[in-house]
Structures are given as C-alpha cells and as structure tokens.
Structure 1
Amino acid sequence: MHTTVGLIGAGGIANAHLPAWLDLGHDVVVHSIADDAEALTRRHGGGRTVPSLDALFEAADVVDICTPTHTHYELALAALGHGLPTICEKPLTRTLPEAEDLVARFADARVPLFPAHVVRYFAEYAELHRAVTRGDIGSVAVQRHTRQGRSPAGGWFLDEALSGGVLLDLMIHDIDMARWIGGEVERVFARTHAVGGSQSTQAFLTHANGSISVLTATWTTAPIEFRTLFEVAGSHGLLHADSDERRPYRYQGDAVPAPDILPDFSPLTSPYRAEIEDFVRSVATGVPPRVTALDGLAAMRIADAVARSAAEGRPVDLKPLEAA
C-alpha cells in the first residue's frame, strides 16, 4: 500500500517518524507551525513542506501527528473531519475525557486511529510479550518497569498542564506494557515527587488476575543517560532486561550531552518503522494492529488514575473498559 502521509509537526519525534515513512517508500508532506519543517526534510533527505493544515489534508491519504501532547485532540479531530486514518504520538490526548471522546468519534466514523505506543515494537519488549504468552515463566505474579531520562531542557514539556509531566512522557509507556503483559488493571496507588526540574512518579497497579506491577518513571537534572529496565516474575521463572547491560559506551561526569528525547535504537531494526508498517498494514487489510485505539484509551485511563491517586494520596479503583 503506497500512501501520501501528512506529517504534522517537525520536532523531536518527527525525526524518528519521517525516515521510517521514507524508508517504507511513502511520499510525505510536512506542516509545522514552527519554522522547522524545511530543516526536517533536508535532514532526512525526503518529504516536502506545505504551508497549511488544509494543504496537508488535501494531499494526504493518512495523517501522522507528531506535535505537543496538548494539541493532539484538536488535530486528530481535524484529520477525522477529512476521513483520514490517523496515527498519533503517545499519549493519545492530554486528558482522559479528550481520549474517550476521540476514540468514540473515530469508532463511530469507522476511521482507523492508531496510538503510537512504540515500546511494544522494541525487540526486548516484543520478546517479553511472546515469552509470557508462550507460558515460559508460568503465571505472571509481579512486574517491575523502570524508565528514566534527563529532564527536558525547557519548553512545553516542563509545563505539566500541556505535557502531563513525567507521567505522560515516560510512565505511559510502561503503563501500556504492564497492561499488555498483565491484563486489565483494577486498582492504582501512586506517589510523585518533584524538586526543581526533577520529577519522579511511582505507581503500584493491581491487575484483575491478582498480579501486581510496580512502575517508576523519573526525569532528573543529573547528567544521566536514558535507561529502561524490566523484571517480570512468574510461577516458573523470571524475565529481565536492562538497557545498561548492553550499552556499548557509558559516560559519568559533569558534562551534559546535547538533549535528545529519543532512546537509542538501531536504524536496521527501528521500532518506529515497525509500528508505522503495522499501522499501514492494518489500514490496508483491516487486521487490527498490535496497538489499538482502545489500548491507547486504556493507558490514558490508568494514567489518569495514577495522577488522581498521587494528588489525593489514596488508591483509585478502575471500572472495566467497555469494548467499542
């Protein structure tokens, strides 16, 4: 399936999406309200810029939203107004009511909506899911997921009203993973702590099957490198992965490297390419992708419960998510 993609936004994550679209052989038109679209297309040797959203929607067969979190809802609604299948960077929206409304509208219109929860496409996490599904470790009892990185240097990321903070930037990935591995979540208890530009949230999830997930997400101003870790324990074994254990180069010291919001990945096995390929295949065939709109909504429901629990200092119960 050859498509023309309307890529909205030319910031950090667009530098992962644009080369993936180009590598898969699609035409790409780019629009950004910032003066960075031309630089993006030059950097990656492909794509062309258009001066407005209307021009982008007119040219596009599908839409890819790579803009700040608080803009996702309105842009996705605009794409839906043109009947365009849409892939939207995580989180699906800034707030839970927006996510609920967006998923319902796309479902009613029978237009595909794909939340870009890319961690499901990283090799170690995909293999974790396969191993659990095969029964390699028996019944899952406890999961531990950790994700940490340097605090954003500035801009909309540091405005929690716009970004959702470390919860919607980092923890949302592991919320999705914990649910993918352990099933639906019934109860959440969380704590968050912020000092200056550093922020850390820890959440305890109780799944419907009785298993427990412990999630920790941290932004820190300390000069650390991006790191992810998981341990999943079952009745017959343990699965473990730590990005530090396979890192070929480490630095510890006072120098702060240039900011980069993307974790390391191989261009040969890019998870961003894999998720986009899955989205395109789903649009062409009607076969559900690895991540559905309901998965994106479920992650937002759990994240909303985490935020409420941390703010109120009490556990929060979740009702079952009804299928659309």
Structure 2
Amino acid sequence: MKIGIVGTGTMGRVHAAAYRRMGAEFVGAYDRNPEKLAAFVGAYTVDPFKSFEELLMRVDVVDVTAPTYAHEELAVRAFEAGKDVILEKPLALTPDSGRRILEAARESGRRLFVAMVVRFFPQYRKAAELVHAGKLGRVGVVRLKRVLFPPGPGWYRDPEKSGGMPVDLMIHDLDYARWLLGDPVRVFARKSPPVEGEVLEHVQALLSFPDGRMALVEGGWAYPAGYFRTALDIAGDRGLVEWSSDQPPPMATLFPAGEPAPEVGLPMAGLEEDPYELELRHALEALERGKPFDVAPEDALAALELALAVRESAASGRPVEVAS
C-alpha cells in the first residue's frame, strides 16, 4: 500500500520517521506551505505533491497529520476518492464533525484509523492487559496524569482550531480511562485560574462510572519549558499497577498479599519499542489483512465527546452528564 502524508508539521515528521523505520511504502507528502513541504520531502526523500488532489491520485492510504481544524475536510475528501485514512487525534473539533467523518467512511466502504497513540505505549498497554485479564481484580480507581509545557505560537494556542488542552492533550487519558472502565456517566472538572495573555491551563477531572468506580484525570499546559510528565495508577481489589515517567523502571507492580513476589525484578514492558511505530504498523497490518483496529472510529468519537464534557465542566464549574 502506497502511503501519502498530508500535513508536514511535528506529527507528520513523527509518522514519516516511523514509516521509514518499518520499511513501509511511504511515497510522498503534501502541505499548503511550500517551504515546509520542501524541507520535509528533502528529509525523508519522498515526492512533493503539488496538491491534495495529486496526493489522492498517487496513494492508497492517506495519513492526515494536518491541524485538527482541517481533519473533516481532508478525511471526507480522501474517503470520497476511495482511500483508507489514518487520522491523527483528535478525530475532530466537534461531535457533529466527527460523525460526518465516520459517515463518509461508511458510505465509501473504506476504513478509518484514528491514532490514539497512548494505547500503544508499552507501559499503558501492559497495564490495560492486566486489567482486562482480571489480574488486578475489580478495578475501583484509576488515576492518570499528563502535564507539559504550553505549546509555542501557532494554531495549538487557538481553542477554535485545536479544541484547547482538554481536547488536544487530555483526550489521550480520557480515551485510556474508557478503554479500562467503559463509558462514564458524569464528569466534574476544575481548572486553574486564567493568566492574561498566556495559554497556561491545568485541569483535574473526576469521571464517575455507573457502578461507583472512578477515574481521576489530570492534564496541563502549565509546566516549565522542556518538562513533560505522565503517570498512571490503577487500583483493584487484588493488586495495584503504577508507573511514572519520573521513575527509571518502565513499570512497578505491587502484588496482592499472600502471593509470592517474583524471584527477580523484571520490567513488565520494554521502553525500546517506539509507540508511534507500533501504532502505525498495527494500522497498516489491519488494513492489509482486513482485521479490526484496536481503536475503533467510535472510540475516537466517544473520547472527543468526553473531552468536550471535561472542557464544559471546567468552564462552568458544574458536573456534566455524559450521554451513553
């Protein structure tokens, strides 16, 4: 399958590097900015397409890494041209826009993979496997953290174009919480006071589930330049799994009382695996073999709706009911 990338910013380069490492047939790219496009195709030795239409004529799979506000237009046009689509998260800026993308995929008979990469980080994937296999017993509380420095000048700083921090950043952990516990019924979020002229934002959200379980999700664009911290903590009635980007091992596990500890400490997931490569390799193999994606398009839509509920609650200071 011949792959073309549209959008040559940060995520376009991340995807291009992953395709090169895995030996995929990455043939070219398009960007509305000719200077960015020239630098990109020079770095990855691929063809520069003069228009999106030319890209559509030359490839089988369209990888959309353009800004979020362009997702609907580009994805729908790709489906209308009969192409499969890999779409960088978030799916869209609004649920209606997201539903139009999903409908275009259904009408075309082509497939949509939304790149929710945290599901492919080895630490997060291993923790999810433990939960789904029942190794931790009944999980009651999930705590997730993702905080970093604010984005630089550009479209990320405009909520009308990026969705703001909850939609662009927290959506990763909101999707992960759904993957572990299913759909919440209610969210309550608080955010830091605004700082005039700055994009600084820190949000803490409580997700309530119908059976009484809860997830505490923290996200922020408020750390000093260069800092990026993530963490997970999943507590069940038979065990606990936790990991933090500040600790040297990839994951630490507290085993239930009465069960023997392992003879020697071993990492439970290897950090040498690149999650972006794992994610894209999975997407291409699923397309080639007709297998289901680990992230269904409906998952991406539900994560978007949850992120928007968090944003609404943080702005209003009131709980928001989440439609099932």
Output the TM-score relative to the length of structure 2.
0.88
Report deviation, 1:280: 1.0
How far apart in 2 are the matches of 1:191 and 1:97? 26
Q: 1:282 aligns with which of 286, 298, 317?
A: 286
How is 1:1-324 mapped onto 2 (pairs within 5 angstroms)?
3-25=1-23, 26-34=25-33, 35-43=35-43, 45-193=44-192, 194-195=194-195, 196-220=198-222, 222-246=224-248, 269-320=273-324
Q: Is the 8 A contact 1:183 1:208 kept in 2?
A: no
SS across alignment from 1:146: strand
- Report the equivalent of 1:256: none
SS across alignment from 1:272: helix
Q: Is the 8 A contact 1:138 1:236 kept in 2?
A: yes
Q: Report the AA paired with residue 37 of structure 2.
A: A
Show CA shifts across 1:93-128 (max 9, x none). Answer: 111211122112312332111110011000000101
How far apart in 2 are the matches of 1:115 and 1:238? 30
Q: Is the 8 A contact 2:191 2:201 kept in 1?
A: yes
How far apart in 1 are the matches of 2:212 and 2:96? 28
Report deviation, 1:304: 1.6
SS across alignment from 2:247: helix
How far apart in 1 are the matches of 2:299 and 2:199? 30
Aligned Cα root-mean-square deviation (Å): 1.8
Show CA shifts across 1:19-52 (max 9, x none). Answer: 2122232132100012212212333x43221110
Report deviation, 1:312: 2.5
Q: Which has the larger radius of gyration?
A: 2
How far apart in 2 are the matches of 1:21 and 1:294? 25
* Range 5-14 or range 238-247, more displaced: 238-247
Q: Report the AA paired with residue 290 of structure 2.
A: G
How far apart in 2 are the matches of 1:294 and 1:208? 20
SS across alignment from 1:228: strand
How far apart in 2 are the matches of 1:143 and 1:175? 11
Q: Is the 8 A contact 2:122 2:271 kept in 1?
A: no
Report deviation, 1:224: 4.9
* Range 188-197 or range 169-178, more displaced: 188-197
Q: Is the 8 A contact 1:151 1:197 kept in 2?
A: yes
Show CA shifts across 1:210-266 (max 9, x none). Answer: 310011111125235111001011111111000111299xxxxxxxxxxxxxxxxx9
How many residue pairs get aligned? The number is 300
Paired-residue identity, %? 34
Q: Is the 8 A contact 1:183 1:209 kept in 2?
A: no
How far apart in 2 are the matches of 1:185 and 1:104? 25
Summarize the Cα distance change of 1:208–1:282 in structure 2 as closer, same or farther, 3 Å threshold.
farther
Show CA shifts across 1:103-159 (max 9, x none). Answer: 123123321111100110000001011111121211110011010111011111111
Q: Report the AA paired with residue 98 of structure 2.
A: A
Q: Is the 8 A contact 1:131 1:137 kept in 2?
A: yes
Report deviation, 1:287: 1.2
* Range 71-80 or range 223-232, more displaced: 223-232
How far apart in 1 are the matches of 2:2 and 2:303? 29
Gaps of at least 5 residues in structure 2 are 251-269
Q: Is the 8 A contact 2:190 2:314 kept in 1?
A: yes
How far apart in 1 are the matches of 2:216 and 2:210? 15
